Amino acid sequence: MKIKLFALSIALLVAIPVLAHHSFAMFELTKDVTYEGTVVEYRWENPHTHIILKVDPGAADPSTVGTWDIEGGATSIMGRQGWTRSTFKAGDHAKLVAHPMKDGVTKGASLFYAILPDGKRLYHDIARPKGEGGATSSQ
């Protein structure tokens, strides 16, 4: 009886991704891609801040062309790194370094840092795991 229950729960849990049709938002954490373009929307909110960025054709990296959803962290975490609700607004030019989604199709990326006009880096979080130029990175 217990075994049947256990098997049923595993089966159902495995079925969830199938039922959901979408892929996970898994990001290629070892890949840093620079997205440069115009801010369509700057959503300063919880649980994640989002910067919708439009990269025009003719960009240095052709793989970045299009409209991207670049996801940051929670407001208090980003706030501690210097971000505010008015760091960007629609129409601003922005240069963001982020990790693209693994599936290679969905235009989503996980924010690493923004490069401000004066060249200063605005990181999304204090934690800088591998691939993020942190203490453990060889970069």
Site string for other proteins, 12-51 (x = CB under 8 A): xx--xx-xxxxxxxx-----------------xxxx----
Start-to-end C-alpha separation, the chain:
54
Q: Segment contacting other proteins (CB under 8 A): 8-16, 31-39, 53-61, 87-95?
A: 8-16
Minimum distance between the CB of residue 117 and other proteins, rounded to whole angstroms? 25
Residue 121 near residue 115 (C-beta atoms within 8 A): yes
Which residue, among 35, 88, 94, has the nearest Cα to 66 in the 3D structure?
Answer: 35
Site string for other proteins, 109-138 (x = CB under 8 A): ----------------xxxxxx---xxx--
Determine, following the binding rule CB under 8 A, whether residue 105 of this chain makes contact with other proteins: no
Three-state DSSP class for residue 17: helix
Pairing mode, strands 121-123 and 93-100: unpaired
CA distance 116 to 19: 42
Three-state DSSP class for residue 22: coil
CB nearer to other proteins: give 94 or 101: 101
Q: Can you give the binding site for other proteins, defined by CB under 8 A?
A: 1, 5, 8-9, 12-13, 16-17, 19-26, 44-47, 69, 71, 73-77, 79-80, 85, 101-102, 106, 108, 125-130, 134-136
